[in-house]
Structure formats: structure tokens, C-alpha cells
A = this chain, B = another copy of it.
């Protein structure tokens, strides 16, 4: 953690737990932001002292107002600032003088309006630095802490959310209002709710750092429009996840960048949204497409135990929805549990003869709460079941509310997850309300239910796997690579020659095919032995233009004898057909063996820094954009996923009698490339295309490489 970061997070605590707050710019004009903010603070019942600061008012509501923050006789923990942007520097300056170290800047009119606003934001940052102030905003909706000991609603949101264990951080203030409304209706509570606004200073990384240790927070949700510091975000998210708290995130603006990824060129393939995807994955962040999906997953994480496997039981009072849910479950990679004979026996005994006691269990349209109880309890006891989906349709004899109540009771007695879907809307509303109040996850769509289960299962399966990047390799020659790169740059090159590129790759132990010029047939034999057989020999002479015309090329030489023979034969032929030619020697290199082609690359992402890329060659890259990314530093799990997670991966692991390929050599190359990318900032882009991958155990070879400076 660098010093700046440490400085910034020092005062985050006081943003959420102030004992006293100065509200700078409060007023009495109903319906304006400054008035709404103060009213929210008062009405929510903040458990501390509020000091309104207003140059023109004697009181705000019934609370004595101060002309200047410096006039406040007591110490102040935190400032909420709603003064116009034009006087923000004065307000912040005075906060600094007053010794206030934490602030929430609500006011707009900064970076987001361009021009002068950019200047003002810069000025704010300078003042904050001068006084060591940590601040959220500007241009934000505010901050909420539902802790009953704090009751902080420093926002102009329409309402205070319920207390809960979800922390929500959003870059869009307007989205916050929609989320609060959505959550209230579903009894979803929050621990902390933060509108981060322009993120001039405090961003997600600082807040995640705080939430990691916040005992009130179990799950963290992020809505991001822009990631300022990719590495910081990943690091902070990892820390939160290591503390057992899942991090879910929406990153909007997929499509624009997606378009950049449309071309098949290695460099431009690395469209930044794919990289963002990869980075989130690497950090363990669960990326969501929209608010619904995020909350559907969040309630599963927050309300219910994590599943120990992916075998689900389905209990329904209607066949159709049972089938639809089965379809969705299978689509999302879940398994339909097979029950133990004991379970089947219980179900048979308890349920009517017309019931379907196989999974999905149909308790039949006239089922009351008792049948749901029997069925759900029985399958929860089954060791082959990792979770239960309970489905209800409002049929004429369905006692919706008592069934809901029963499910809540059963859920309390077991430590496996129960999710529900009461289909319909008006008739089932009261039942759904009971479920939501008791924190039983409820879903409108079977797809959402299955998706949430799948997300929690994946998290459970991956949690505990600590992120441990590869140790730096010892057998690389960083200096050699730098020498070549720096010299090329000094010479004004914008890309390396093939020789130079080969040398750089070689310095990092990448499997290049080296070329040696031997002065004599004897030397050629030694060079061939060094390179490994089979080899190619070419005659080297400035006087010979078309080498093959004079028999000056010999391919596929398998032994020292063959090399010696070929060299002598070449000399003989040249003497015959072009006796004046001056022979410099013999070019010797290992034959590029037959193999399957993959491509590797390096790219620099403006957000996440050096990135490595992997793809299977030819049509898979060109046609299917079947490529994967890893943000450096990479860890074994990431490289493994890069190589095994592509559509084409089965082709290389022995599909249908094909020879398995040496993928260990590929992962080694990716690891080396990642280190090269991190060590050598001079490399702007790098492609190895193709890397020829031989059969398992035989390695791989870079047949062509390109490095752009």
C-alpha cells in the first residue's frame, strides 16, 4: 500500500461513523438539494450532533446555524458540503483550518462539466492534500450508514433503506435512487450505501479497503462506469474476497469498447472490455450485466448458506414450471439431484399417489403447506442434494401465505440454501412478501434462480483459493532485453527487427528457433548438434542470389553425418556451377517441426496495465474471436483458465484421437511473456504468431514474432 493510499483511507472511518457533522451550505428552501440533505440527516435520526453552516440563515429547520464552519465551538468529525462549486475552495479551506479530516462533497459543477469545473476539482484536491482531508465526491448523491448506532443519511435520496448486510457503491447517483426504490420494495437492506460521484479522490479501492473489515457488511456491490485505477481495484477486491465477502460488479459501457475488439488483429483484439472481464475474473469479482442480476445474486449470497455442490432438488405444485426450471438449471450447469432410496421412500409415504416423487418433485396442484414441508424437508436431508428450489403457482386451492411461512420455517432448520419462485404477481404478492421479509431469496424467473445458485456455487468452490502470482523467474535476462529494446528505441526504431525480437524472447527463455552461421562443415555439425535434429542448412554467400538454384538448401537433416554430407555436397555443387562465389559459411537452424498453431501476445491496457493474450490460431481467432486475456502479474489459475477455457481447447487436449499437445510449454510461455511484459515497459505490443505446439512432452516453438515499441 503506498503512502497516498494510506493517507486517503485513514479518514474513511469518520465518513461512516462521525460523531458530529457540519453541513456546509444548508438552507431552508424546501425541494432543493441542500435542504433535502439536512432534512434527511435530521429525520433519519443521526446519532450525533449536526452543525448547519449557512452564511445567510440563523437556523436550518429548528437547528442553530453557523455563518462559518470555523465559528463552530466544538470539534467536528465530518463535513457534508453542498455549497456551489464556485466557492468550494473556500469551504474546503475552512474545513481544513477547522481540522475536519473527512468530507462528502455533494455539489456538482466539477470535472463532469469540463472547462472551469476541471480546474475547480484540481483545486479541491490540492486543498484536501494540504490539510490531509479525505473526501467522497464531488457530484454525488451522498453516503448512507444504516447502523442503528449511527443512522447516517447524508444524501438527498428519497428514502433511508432498511438495515442489511449489503454494501452498495455506485458511480451513478441517479442509479442509486432506482436501486433504493427497488430494494425497499423487496425488503433488501444495506449496511453502507455510497454514491461515489466523480471519484476525485476516494474511489472504490479505498472504500473496499474499509468494507473488508466492516463487521456489518457481508457482500459488496459495485456499479462502475469508469475504472480509474485497475490495479488498485483488483487488489482491494481481492482483499475483500479473502475476507470471505463476495464482490459483485456492473461495469457499463461494454458495447463501445466491444466494437474495438471486433478486428482479429492480435493487438486490437484486446478490446478493453474483454480485458476488464478478465481482470475482474482474476480478482474474483463477479461481473453482472444489470442491476436485477446483481441483486438476484446478492440476496442469495447474503441470505442463505453457500451451496456445497451443484445438485439441486426442485419442489413444485405444477409440472410445467418444474420442467422450465429443469431446463434452466441444466443450461446453467447445475445438476438435477438423484435422491437416495431413503428420500424416495419418505416422499412416497408422505405424498399422494398422483404426486411425482422424482426430481423435479410435483406435490400436485392441491398441495397445502404440509406437502411442501414434507417434500422440502425430505430433500434437504438427502446427502445428494446441495440446495432446493421451491416453486409455487397460485392454483385455486393453494394457500399461498401459509406455504410461504412453512418454507421460512423449514429453511431455518437446515444449513442448505433454499431459493423460491412464486409465479404470478398479484395473488402471490403476499406470499412473496413473507419470503422476502424472512430473507428467503425469491425470483420471478427460473433462470435468475438458477443463475444465482450457480454464482454462489462458483464462489464457494473458488473461495479459499488464494491469489498467488507466479514467483518471478530467475532464468531470465532482463538486462539483455533492456539493452536491445533501449538501443532500438535510441536508433529511432518503432518496431524490432526479427533478429532483435528473437533475442528479446530468448532473453526471457521463450522457445525461439535460433539461427547460427557456421564457418565450416565441422562447425555446422556442432551447431546442428546444439540446435537439435532435424536441422535445415543453407549456404551463406553474398554472391548467390537463389540458394535453391545451386542446391544451397538442405532440409530435414537427421544426423551429424547427414549435415556434414550436405555441406560438402553444397560446396561441391557451388564450385561446379558458380566457381567464383565467395562462401561465408552455412546457416544452421533447427527445422520448425509440424505442429498446431497458437498465438500469444502482449498488450498494454490503459486501465489494467500489461496484459497477456492467448488464442488458438487461424479460424479460431479470425472467425470466432476465441481468445483469452490475463492481467499481469498472472497466477497459475489464470494461465490455466486462459489455456483450457477456450472453445478450441479440447482440440489440443486429445479430442477424438488427436494427439494431445504440449500445453505445459504453452503455459510456461505465457508465464514468461507476462514477466517480460511487466519487466519491459518499452514493449508496447508483442505478438508471437504462430507458436507451434508439438505433441505432449515435445515443447513448442515461436515461429514468428513482432515487437512494437
Q: Does A172 contact B (CB under 8 A)?
A: yes
Q: In whole angstroms, what is the CA distance A243 to B92 when docked? A: 69
Chain B residues with CB below 8 A from A622, complex form: 655-656
Chain B residues with CB below 8 A from A225, complex form: 319-320, 323
**Given the contacts A253-B323, A330-B255, A330-B258, A174 and B317 also touching, CB distance less than 8 Å:** yes
Q: Does A412 contact B (CB under 8 A)?
A: no
Q: Is the CB of A424 within 8 A of B182?
A: yes
Chain B residues with CB below 8 A from A321, complex form: 172, 174-175, 178
A269 to chain B, nearest CB (A): 14
Within 113-137 of A, Cβ neighbours of B (below 8 Å) are at: 113
Q: Does A651 contact B (CB under 8 A)?
A: yes
**Given the contacts A177-B395, A291-B423, A223 and B444 also touching, CB distance less than 8 Å:** no
Chain B residues with CB below 8 A from A258, complex form: 330
Q: Is the CB of B174 within 8 A of A252?
A: no
Within 294-339 of A, Cβ neighbours of B (below 8 Å) are at: 317-321, 323-324, 326-331
Q: In whole angstroms, what is the CA distance A175 to B394 when docked? A: 9
Chain B residues with CB below 8 A from A172, complex form: 318-321
Nearest residue in B to A317 (C-beta to C-beta)? B174
Q: Is the CB of B447 within 8 A of A171?
A: no
Chain B residues with CB below 8 A from A624, complex form: 624, 647
Nearest residue in B to A173 (C-beta to C-beta)? B365
Stretch at the interface among A425-433, A490-498, A668-676: A425-433
Chain B residues with CB below 8 A from A264, complex form: 656
Nearest residue in B to A427 (C-beta to C-beta)? B181
Q: Is the CB of B158 within 8 A of A327?
A: no
**Given the contacts A253-B323, A330-B255, A178 and B393 also touching, CB distance less than 8 Å:** yes
A596 to chain B, nearest CB (A): 11
Q: In whole angstroms, what is the CA distance A175 to B395 when docked? A: 9
Within 253-312 of A, Cβ neighbours of B (below 8 Å) are at: 253-256, 258-259, 264, 289-292
Q: Does A36 contact B (CB under 8 A)?
A: yes
Q: In whole angstroms, what is the CA distance A619 to B656 when docked? A: 10
Nearest residue in B to A398 (C-beta to C-beta)? B177
**A651 CB contact (under 8 Å) in B113, B323, B446, B619:** B619
Q: Does A510 contact B (CB under 8 A)?
A: no
Chain B residues with CB below 8 A from A588, complex form: none
Q: Is the CB of A426 within 8 A of B254?
A: no
Encoded as 1 (CB less than 8 Å from any B CB) or 0, chain A from 158 to 190 comes to 110000000000111111011111101110000
Nearest residue in B to A37 (C-beta to C-beta)? B396
Nearest residue in B to A423 (C-beta to C-beta)? B178
Nearest residue in B to A447 (C-beta to C-beta)? B290
**Given the contacts A181-B427, A253-B323, A156 and B317 also touching, CB distance less than 8 Å:** no
Q: Does A2 contact B (CB under 8 A)?
A: no
Chain B residues with CB below 8 A from A185, complex form: 424-426, 429
Q: Does A535 contact B (CB under 8 A)?
A: no
Q: Is the CB of A174 within 8 A of B319?
A: yes
Chain B residues with CB below 8 A from A250, complex form: 324
- Considering residues A256, A429, A623, which has the most beta carbons from chain B within 10 angstroms of its beta carbon? A623
Q: Does A591 contact B (CB under 8 A)?
A: no
Q: Does A472 contact B (CB under 8 A)?
A: no
Encoded as 1 (CB less than 8 Å from any B CB) or 0, chain A from 612 to 636 comes to 0000000100111000000000000
**A177 CB contact (under 8 Å) in B174, B256, B393:** B393
Q: Is the CB of A396 within 8 A of B182?
A: no
Within 207-242 of A, Cβ neighbours of B (below 8 Å) are at: 223, 225
Chain B residues with CB below 8 A from A365, complex form: 173-174
Q: Is the CB of A178 within 8 A of B424?
A: yes
Chain B residues with CB below 8 A from A425, complex form: 181-182, 184-186
Nearest residue in B to A428 (C-beta to C-beta)? B181
Q: In whole angstroms, what is the CA distance A4 to B594 when docked? A: 66
Encoded as 1 (CB less than 8 Å from any B CB) or 0, chain A from 664 to 693 comes to 000000000000000000000000000000
Q: Is the CB of A397 within 8 A of B31?
A: yes
Q: What are 27 sample pairs from A and B whose C-beta atoms fall under 8 A apart? A: A31-B396, A36-B396, A158-B396, A170-B320, A173-B318, A173-B365, A174-B395, A175-B318, A177-B394, A178-B394, A181-B424, A181-B427, A182-B424, A185-B426, A185-B429, A250-B324, A252-B320, A252-B327, A258-B330, A289-B328, A289-B447, A290-B328, A290-B446, A291-B324, A291-B423, A619-B651, A623-B647
Interfacial residues, chain A to chain B (CB-CB below 8 A) = 31, 33, 36, 113, 156-159, 170-175, 177-182, 184-186, 223, 225, 250, 252-256, 258-259, 264, 289-292, 317-321, 323-324, 326-331, 354, 365, 393-397, 423-429, 444-447, 619, 622-624, 647-648, 650-651, 655-656
Shortest Cβ-Cβ A-B pairs, 6 listed = A174-B318, A172-B320, A181-B424, A185-B425, A178-B423, A255-B330
